Amino acid sequence: MSAPLPASVAPPVTSVDEAIARMEIIDTELPAADGLACFNRMYLEVTRQVGERLKAGFFADPEFMSALDVAFANLYFAAADLAAHPGTVPPAWRPLIEQRERQGIEPVQFALAGMNAHINHDLPIAIVQTCAGLGTAPADGTHRADYQKVDRLLDAIEQSVRQSFESAAERAADRHLAAVANLIACRTINSARDLAWTNSLLLWQVRDDQAGYELLGDSLAVSAELAGRLLLVAV
């Protein structure tokens, strides 16, 4: 059985540093082969990179990007908190949580399934939450430009993160295909983030219409759940 998540009783994080610390706890407490741990390792590395850039002045509006990173992370933690009871997990996260101990699924598949749920479902919601909390809108200021800067970070670390899930033999083979693999992976992630931004604009337009907001949110959840199940086909 997978270890329980020790941070499950913790309140939402309020800073990027707190988010990193909580991911580090999850990384320490879960078995390395646990599907949720596989995603957490990838997410931790990305969040560390974002945290470093926030402190280095990489973003034009660090307040917005910090708030977005925190809101985004809290949606992941909310799903992880429910991991012991898969039936209560948000649908987008359910494939990963339900199959996190299944044999025959590669670690990178778990990581990608988590990214699918987090980007395709959680990210548009986090953007809306952040804008509402800061009294701004997705189209305002440098929000979109700063958001796209994260794509550059993902492009830079994609190969090292992917190879962290590979054996020595797989890494040797990977070197021969790295350029193609990186191009495909980065385009896939960047395309998903582009779509997430578009969906955030749609959610923003219907944010005051509860029925419309829930309908759109449900459609994102269903799509993410289906994609997650396809990503977790045993190989």
The answer to whether the pTM exceeds 0.85 is yes
Distance CA 71, CA 94 (A): 20
Per-residue pLDDT tens digits for 73-85: 999 999 999 999 9
Distance CA 192, CA 135 (A): 26
Q: Is the pLDDT of residue 187 over 90?
A: no
Distance CA 94, CA 114 (A): 10
Which DSSP category does 140 fall into?
S
How buried is 24 (Cβ within 10 angstroms: 0-12 exposed, 13-18 middle, 19+ buried)? Answer: middle
Taking CA atoms, 193 is separated from 25, 49, 185, 215, in Å, by 27, 17, 12, 21
Distance CA 192, CA 119 (A): 7
Residue 84: CA count within 13 A, CB half-sphere? 9
Decide: 111 and 165 in contact? Cβ < 8 Å: yes
Looking at residue 6, its pLDDT comes to: 43
Q: Is the pLDDT of residue 177 over 80?
A: no
Decide: 22 and 44 in contact? Cβ < 8 Å: no
Q: Work out the average pLDDT over 35-54.
A: 96
Distance CA 44, CA 38 (A): 10
Per-residue pLDDT tens digits for 19-31: 999 999 999 999 9
Q: Token pair of 159, please?
A: 């190969």
Decide: 196 and 147 in contact? Cβ < 8 Å: no
Helical segments of the chain, H only: 16-29, 35-56, 62-81, 94-98, 107-117, 123-134, 143-163, 168-205, 210-231
Residue environment code for 113-124, b if the CB has 16+ CB neighbours within 10 A, otherwise e: bbbbbbbbbbbb
